[in-house]
Each structure stands twice: as structure tokens, then as C-alpha cells.
Amino acid sequence: MTNTLQMLRNRFLWPSKANELDPPRKFYYVAAVMAGISLISFNGSFFHFISQLTKKNYDNVDMDAASIISLTGIYFSVFFFLVKIKRLSLIYQKMSDFATYGKPPNFEKDNETLNFYSKLFSMYMFCLIVSVSLPDLGECKNAKAEKRTFSMDALTLFIGWFIALALVASGGQRIIDEVY
């Protein structure tokens, strides 16, 4: 569970250890800023979808619709997660109180295994996102060249990589700060 919490902290989705039960307003402001920045992708898909429908050009509107639906689901999930973060923190702290309730059998072994799988899953998802996104870039450029249209692909990719780099750098800095 510590790996999962550390990953959530690095992505600004879990408060620091000192503020787990009562996250400061800054925690919610950072989450709102991150959501606002990521709205660029949602807005790009939404406006592209609307413009294609008004032009009666139905190429790739299915991709826009899928993107809009999935991003809406993600935003709702993160929103409700942040609304319930205090209760989740309380549950986590009560479940981690081994002095009162004792450790379950094979806890250490199971914890190591689950930590390994959480790291493996994170790496798998990162590799999957990169491997699915990269081949489409050439296809998007070719389609734009044929139709002489503008797309949000390059802007979205640039902003996404910039945000990912910022999150990795800040997460690394947090880890260094905790260790030293």
C-alpha cells in the first residue's frame, strides 16, 4: 500500500503524511489546477467533435466521442475520489493500525507481492500509453496533409509530455526530500 500511496502523492492525488486526515486547501487547489490543465485535451476533442458535426464531416468523430466519454468518466472518478479523500484516509489509517488489530497471516509476503504488482502495473500502463500513442502520430500527420486540416494532436502530445515530465520531476524531488 505504501507504493500506491507514494504514486498517488507523486501525482498530487493523496495528501502528505502529516495532512492525511485533514488535507489543506492547497491540496485541493493543486488538484483543481491539474484538472484545469488536463482540460485542454477534453476541450480539443469536444470542439473538434462539434466542428466536424457542423461541417457534416464524420471522419474520426468516433474517436472524439470516445475521448470525450472516457475523459468525462476520469474527471468524475477523480472528483468523487477527492470528495471522499478524508474518509479514505481514515479507513487506511484504521486498517494500518496493527497494534490494535494485529497483523494478518502472511501479511509481509502478500504486501511485498502486491507492491511488486503495483509497480509492474504502473510500468505496464506507461508503456501501453506510449506504444498506443506513438504509431498514431504519423497517421494523423498524413490525414492532415491530405485534408489540409488542423488537429490538436501535436499540441496535446506536447502538453501531455510536459505535464508528465513535471510530475516525474516533482515526484522525484519529493522522494529525495523524504529520504534526506
Query: Is it the case that residue 2 has pLDDT exceeding 80?
Result: no
Region 93-112 average pLDDT = 82
DSSP state of 104: P
Query: Is it the case that residue 72 has pLDDT exceeding 60?
Result: yes
Lowest mean pLDDT among 73-82, 88-97, 129-138: 129-138
Region 59-75 average pLDDT = 83
pTM exceeds cut of 0.85: no
Report the pLDDT value the prediction gives residue 179, as an integer from 0 to 100: 46
Query: Is it the case that residue 42 has pLDDT exceeding 60?
Result: yes
% residues pLDDT > 70 (the chain): 72
Cα–Cα dist 151/110, whole Å: 47
Report the pLDDT value the prediction gives residue 148, as an integer from 0 to 100: 54
What is the per-residue DSSP string for 151-167? -SHHHHHHHHHHHHHHH
